Structure 1
Amino acid sequence: MYKKILLPTDGSDYANQEIPRALNVLADDGELLLVSVATKIKPYQFQYKSQVQELNQKAIKEAEENVEKMKAKIEDKSIKVRTKVVSGFPADSIKKTAEEEDVDLIVISSSGKSGLHKLFLGSVTEKVVSIVDVDVLLIHN
């Protein structure tokens, strides 16, 4: 059983399939950490800084909604659940969060918003699996 499990979410139905699998391996006194990554856009010469800031704020709001929607799907309110929103590139941010939070396991779906999910792992999932130093439970969709 795992004491601290990280569940990344992009708001997709695929990500929600992580929940029951994570609950199956969560220790009785364990904790779920729900994480959504807001991809940060950087201004370029042809973009107005205010437009970039607005897009980044929208990305953060969407990420906050993603973790709250996932949290609402956990029916057992006795389970310790935390949410976290981070900015950056998804796979790198998931790795960094896993290290900072000292998680024991990452439960991640094989495909989210990216296409061709029947043929390939999602690009974020594939990178996470290859760069993290903790156990990963890959949920095939």
Structure 2
Amino acid sequence: MYKKILLPTDGSEYSVREIERATKLLAEDGEIIILSVAMELRKTAFQRSKDIDKANKEALKEANDNVKAMKEGFDDSVNVKTKVVVGFPAESINEVAEEEGCDLIIIASSGKSGLKKFVIGSVAERVLKDSEKDVLLIHN
């Protein structure tokens, strides 16, 4: 059993499958931290500042919606904390796991698809490769 489990979510249907696994692996007095990472866009010479600001606000709102939706999937008896950070997903997930002292990261093997997945790469794969924590990869 694990005392502190990190559940990263991108809001995809796959990340919801993490809830069942986390509940089964959590120690009786343990804590689950639901994390969503909002990617921050930076202004370039060809983009308007207000467009970038709008996209960043939307990304932050989506991240907050993601953690809220996932938290609703847990029974009230489970100790659940939510966290939203701005950054790059894989790096941020591993940083938060370290900062929070998590014993386990449970992550779905796929979420985003199509061109986004090709361009961004597999977040789960990077977390698995770079993490010093135990990682449970949920296949979909």
Instruction: State if a TM-score over 0.5 links the two structures.
Output: yes
Matches within 5 A, 1:69-108: 69-74=69-74, 76-108=75-107
Equivalent position amino acid for 1:28 in 2? E
3-state SS, counterpart of residue 13 of structure 1: coil
How far apart are the structure 2 equivalents of 1:18 and 1:78?
17
What is the match of residue 119 of structure 1? Answer: none
Return the offset for 1:92: 0.6
TM-score calculated relative to the size of structure 1: 0.92
Equivalent position amino acid for 2:107 in 1? I
3-state SS, counterpart of residue 14 of structure 2: helix
Q: Which digits, 9 at most, give the CA deviation of each residue in 1:27-72, with x for residues without a partner?
A: 0000000000101101001111121111101000000000000001
Return the offset for 1:113: 1.5
When the two structures are aligned, how many residues end up with a matched partner? 135
What is the match of residue 53 of structure 2? Answer: 53
* Runs of 4+ more than 4 Å apart: none
What is the match of residue 29 of structure 2? Answer: 29
RMSD after superposition: 1.3
Equivalent position amino acid for 1:59 in 2? A
Return the offset for 1:91: 0.3
Equivalent position amino acid for 2:66 in 1? N
Equivalent position amino acid for 2:22 in 1? A
What is the match of residue 118 of structure 2? Answer: none
Return the offset for 1:114: 2.2
Q: Which digits, 9 at most, give the CA deviation of each residue in 1:67-87, with x for residues without a partner?
A: 00000111x201110000111
How far apart are the structure 1 equivalents of 2:133 and 2:113?
24
Q: Which digits, 9 at most, give the CA deviation of each residue in 1:72-131, with x for residues without a partner?
A: 111x2011100001111110110111111110000001111124xxxxxx7100000000
TM-score calculated relative to the size of structure 2: 0.93
Structure 2, gaps ≥5 residues long: 115-120
What is the match of residue 137 of structure 1? Answer: 136
What is the match of residue 117 of structure 2? Answer: none
Give me the identity figure in percent: 56
3-state SS, counterpart of residue 106 of structure 1: strand
Structure 1, gaps ≥5 residues long: 116-121
Equivalent position amino acid for 1:11 in 2? G
